[in-house]
Amino acid sequence: MPVNSTENKNGGQDYQEAYRAWSDFYRQMGAEGMEMFQRGMENAQRMSPMGGDNPFFRFWFNTQQDFMNRFSHGGWAEAADPEVYQKAYDSWMDTLSQNLESYMGTDEFAAQSGKGLEMLSDMKKKTGELMESYWHALHLPSAHDMRELYQKLYMMERKLDEMDRRLRDIQSAGRETAARPRAEQRTAEPVTEGPRAAAVKTAPKKPETKKSASVKTKPSKSKSTPKKAPKK
Partner 1 sequence: MMQAESQSIPKQLLEMHLKNIQRFRKGLEISQNWQPKVGQTPHEVVLQEGKVRLLHYKSQTRKTYKIPLLIVFSLINRSYVLDLKPGKSIVEKLVQAGFDVYLIDWGIVGAGDQFLTLDDYINRYMYRIVEFIKEHAEVEQLSVLGYCMGGTMAAMYAALYPENVKNLLLMAAPIAYGNKGGLLELWADKQHFNVDKLVSAMGNIPPWFLQSSFNLLKPVQNMVDKYVKFYEKLEDEAFVDDFLTLEYWLNDNIPLAGPVYKQFVEDFFHKNLLVQNKLRLGDHPVNLKNIHCPVLTILAEHDHLVPPAASTPINDAVSSEEKEVIAFPSGHIGLSVSGRAMKVLWPKVAEWLGKRSS
Q: How many residues bind partner 1 (CB under 8 A)?
A: 50
Binding string, 200-219, against partner 1, x = CB under 8 A? -------------------x
- 180 is a contact residue toward partner 1 (CB under 8 A): no
Measured from the CB atom, is 115 or 136 closer to partner 1?
Answer: 115
Q: What are the angstrom distances between the C-alpha of 159 and each of 153, 154, 162, 164, 166? A: 10, 9, 5, 9, 11
Separation of alpha carbons 96 and 124, rounded Å: 34
The DSSP result for 124-189, as a single string, is: HHHHHHHHHHHHHHTT---HHHHHHHHHHHHHHHHHHHHHHHHHHHHHHHHHHHHHS-HHHHHHPP
With contacts defined by CB under 8 A, name the span among 38-46, 132-140, 154-162, 174-182 that binds partner 1.
Answer: 154-162
Contact positions with partner 1 (CB under 8 A) in 97-136: 97, 100-101, 104-105, 107, 110-111, 113-115, 117-118, 120-122, 124-125, 128
- What span, in angstroms and rounded, lies between the C-alpha atoms of 27 and 77? 9
Asked if 181 is part of the footprint of partner 1 (rule: CB under 8 A), the reply reads no
Q: Which residues contact 17 (CB under 8 A, 6 or more apart)?
A: 1, 3
Chain residues in the site for partner 1 (CB under 8 A): 12, 15-16, 18-19, 77, 80-82, 93, 96-97, 100-101, 104-105, 107, 110-111, 113-115, 117-118, 120-122, 124-125, 128, 146-147, 150-151, 153-154, 158, 161, 165, 193-195, 198, 219, 226-229, 231-232
